[in-house]
């Protein structure tokens, strides 16, 4: 058992070192970067599709999309307005890691962008354990998933910089107790920046987009 723990620690330490290199590279290029986490179907890609048109003529955006297979998400990002969209297929891995991001960054001329959006693989466990080197980590939670997710996945909720509560238009139709959900979030991540919104109706999206612009231009 001790040997197994040591191997895992070595893997994570090596990943963290490369993540620092990724961060330094993005900093040197003046590119603000975000890593978006969520479970499958929470609305990561929909959020990107709704965000990119609102950033047109304001920020130059590149997208890196991680998935087990297909280029569906990067195709959607390109169609929504990303100036460059790179797909990373993990071949079965349930997360992106710093090595994968490093390889994708090699394909980009970072001087041509202001913002990099990384869409991680849909999963609420593995992605939280592997740093990529981005500036901020964004978690998309959605109303249909249920209000118990902070209690079930504390490691993920504890480590994020921004929480997006998506599909709030469904609140009248779903048994989702917002106060219970928020108590769980605050116990793990007090004061976390939160944006309730709907990618369907557009409610709340302006506040999220303004946050992105403000942080990118700092």
- pLDDT in single tens digits along all 218 residues of the chain: 454 555 456 778 999 999 999 999 999 999 999 999 999 999 999 999 999 999 999 999 999 999 998 999 999 999 999 999 999 999 888 999 999 999 999 999 999 999 999 999 999 999 999 999 999 999 999 999 999 999 999 999 999 999 999 999 999 999 999 999 999 999 999 999 999 999 999 999 999 999 999 999 98
Q: Tokens 């179907």 correspond to what residue?
A: 41
Range of the structural domain that residue 103 is part of? 2-216
| HSE of 21, CA atoms in CB hemisphere, 13 A | 15
Per-residue model confidence (pLDDT) at position 41: 96
Per-residue model confidence (pLDDT) at position 1: 44
Total number of domains in the chain = 1
Domain of 128, CATH number, reads 3.40.50.300
Encoded tokens for 39: 């479970």
Q: Cα–Cα–Cα angle for 22, 139, 209, nearest 5°?
A: 85
Selection from 137, 144, 99 nearest residue 120 by Cα: 137
- Report the 3 state secondary structure along the chain: CHHHHHHHHHHHHHHHHHHHHHHHHHHHHCCEEEEEEECCCCCHHHHHHHHHHHHCCCCCEEEEEEECCCCHHHHHHHHHCCCEEEEEECCCCCCCCHHHHHHHHCCCCHHHCCEEEEECCCCCCHHHHCCCCCCEEEEEEEHHHCCCHHHHCHHHHHCCCEEEEECHHHHHHCCCCHHHHHHHHHHHCCCCEEEECCCCCCCCHHHHHHHHHHHHCC
Stated pTM of the model:
0.94
Query: What is the chain's alpha carbon radius of gyration, rounded to the nearest angstrom?
Result: 17
């Amino acid at each position: 058992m001790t040997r197994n723990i040591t191997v895992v620690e070595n893997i994570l330490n090596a990943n963290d070192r490369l993540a620092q290199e990724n961060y330094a590279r993005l900093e040197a290029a003046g590119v603000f970067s975000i890593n978006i986490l969520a479970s499958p179907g929470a609305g990561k890609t929909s959020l990107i599709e709704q965000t990119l048109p609102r950033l047109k003529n304001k920020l130059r955006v590149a997208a890196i999309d991680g998935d087990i297979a297909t280029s569906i998400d990067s195709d959607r990002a390109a169609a929504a307005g990303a100036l460059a969209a790179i797909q990373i297929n993990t071949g079965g891995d349930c997360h992106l890691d710093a090595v994968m991001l490093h390889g994708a960054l090699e394909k980009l001329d970072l001087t041509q962008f202001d913002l990099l959006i990384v869409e991680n693989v849909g999963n609420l466990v593995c992605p939280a354990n592997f740093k990529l080197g981005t500036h901020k980590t964004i978690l998309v939670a959605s109303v249909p998933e249920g209000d118990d997710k902070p209690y079930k996945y504390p490691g993920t909720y504890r480590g994020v910089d921004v929480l997006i509560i998506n599909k709030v238009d469904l609140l009248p139709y779903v048994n989702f107790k917002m106060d219970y959900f928020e108590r769980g979030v605050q116990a793990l991540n007090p004061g976390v920046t939160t944006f309730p919104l709907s990618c369907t109706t557009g409610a709340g999206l302006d506040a999220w987009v303004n946050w992105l612009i403000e942080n990118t231009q700092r």
